[in-house]
Chains A and B, each alone.
Chain A
Amino acid sequence: MAKVIVNDIEVDADPKDNCILAARKAGVEIPHYCWHESLSVVASCRMCLVEVGERKPDGTIVMGPKLVPGCQTPIREGTVIRTDTPKVKTTQAMTLELLLLNHPLDCSICDQAGECYLQDYTYKFGNAHSRLDEPKIQRMDKYHIGEQIALFTDRCVMCTRCVRFTREISGTAELQVVARGSHEEIDVFPEVPCDNKLAGNVVDLCPVGALCSKDFLYKKRVWWLKHSDSVCTGCSTGCSIQVDQNEDKVYRLRPRENPLAQGHFMCDEGRFGFKYIHDERRLKLPRISAAFSKAPSAKPPNGKPTGTADLDFSDPWSESMSMARSKIKEAIKNDAHGFVAVLSPFMTVEEAYLLAGYLKEIDKRIRLVLGPVPVDGVDDQYPKGPKGQPPAQDKVKFTIRAEKCPNRLGVEAILRHFEGQVRHLDDVILKADATAFYVVGGCSQGWVTESIDRGIGKPALLIVQDIFPSPLSDRADFVLPSASFAERDGTYVNYAGLAQAAHGAIRCPGDARADGRILMELSERKGLFNAMALRKEIGRTVPTLATLSVGELGDHGVKIATTAPEPIHS
Chain B
Amino acid sequence: MTTTKKTKTVKWGDEPKLGWVEAMYLPAIVSGVATALKHAFSGKTTTRQYPEVEPTIPPNYRGVHRLNRDEAGRVKCVACYMCQTACPANCIEIIAAPAPKDDPKWKDRDKYPETFTIDELRCIYCGMCEEACPVDAIELTSIYDLTGLTRQEMIYDKEKLLSVYDQTVNSGNDPIRTNRGALGPASLEAPTAKQGPPPPGQGRHG
Binding site for B on A (CB under 8 A): 106, 108-109, 141, 152, 217-219, 221, 223-224
Contacts and interface: CB of A to CB of B under 8 A. Distances in A.
A141 B111 CA distance: 13
A22 to B, nearest CB: 38
13 contacts: A106-B110, A109-B78, A109-B79, A109-B110, A141-B110, A152-B110, A218-B79, A218-B96, A219-B96, A221-B81, A221-B85, A223-B85, A224-B85
Interface residues of B, number: 13
A109 B80 contact: yes
A108 B98 contact: no
B80 A108 contact: yes
A108 B110 contact: no
Interface in B49-76: none
Contacts of A108: 78, 80, 82, 134-135
B111 A218 contact: yes
Contacts of B81: 221
B82 to A, nearest CB: 7
Contacts of A218: 79, 96-98, 111
A109 B97 CA distance: 11
Contacts of A152: 110
Given A141-B110, A224-B85, 6 more contacts: A108-B134, A109-B78, A152-B110, A218-B111, A221-B80, A221-B81
A106 B82 CA distance: 13
Contacts, number: 25
Most buried by B among A108, A141, A152, A224: A108
A226 to B, nearest CB: 15
Contacts of B134: 108
A154 B97 CA distance: 20
Contacts of A223: 85
Contacts of B85: 221, 223-224
Nearest to B110: A109
A141 B82 CA distance: 24
A115 to B, nearest CB: 15
B81 to A, nearest CB: 5
A559 B112 CA distance: 49
Interface string B172-204: 000000000000000000000000000000000
Contacts of B78: 108-109
Contacts of A219: 96
A214 to B, nearest CB: 9
Nearest 6 interchain pairs by C-beta: A108-B80, A109-B111, A218-B96, A221-B81, A108-B134, A109-B78
A106 B78 CA distance: 10
A218 B77 CA distance: 14
A152 B110 CA distance: 10
Question: Which of the listed residues A109, A219, A221 has the most CB atoms from chain B within 10 Å of its own CB?
Answer: A109
A141 B110 CA distance: 9
A106 B98 CA distance: 14
Contact of B98 (A217, A221, A224): A217
Interface string B97-128: 11000000000001100000000000000000
Nearest to A223: B85
Counting chain A CB atoms within 10 Å of each CB, the highest count among B78, B82, B98, B110 belongs to B110
B196 to A, nearest CB: 38
A141 B107 CA distance: 11
Pick from B79, B81, B82 the residue with the most CB of A within 10 Å: B81
Interface in B112-154: 134-135
In this complex, the member of A106, A221, A223 whose beta carbon has the largest number of chain B beta carbons within 10 angstroms is A221
Contacts of B82: 108
A219 B79 CA distance: 11
Nearest to B108: A138
A152 B81 CA distance: 20
Nearest to A108: B80
Contacts of B79: 109, 218
Contacts of B80: 108-109, 221
Nearest to A109: B111
Nearest to A111: B111
Contacts of A109: 78-80, 110-111
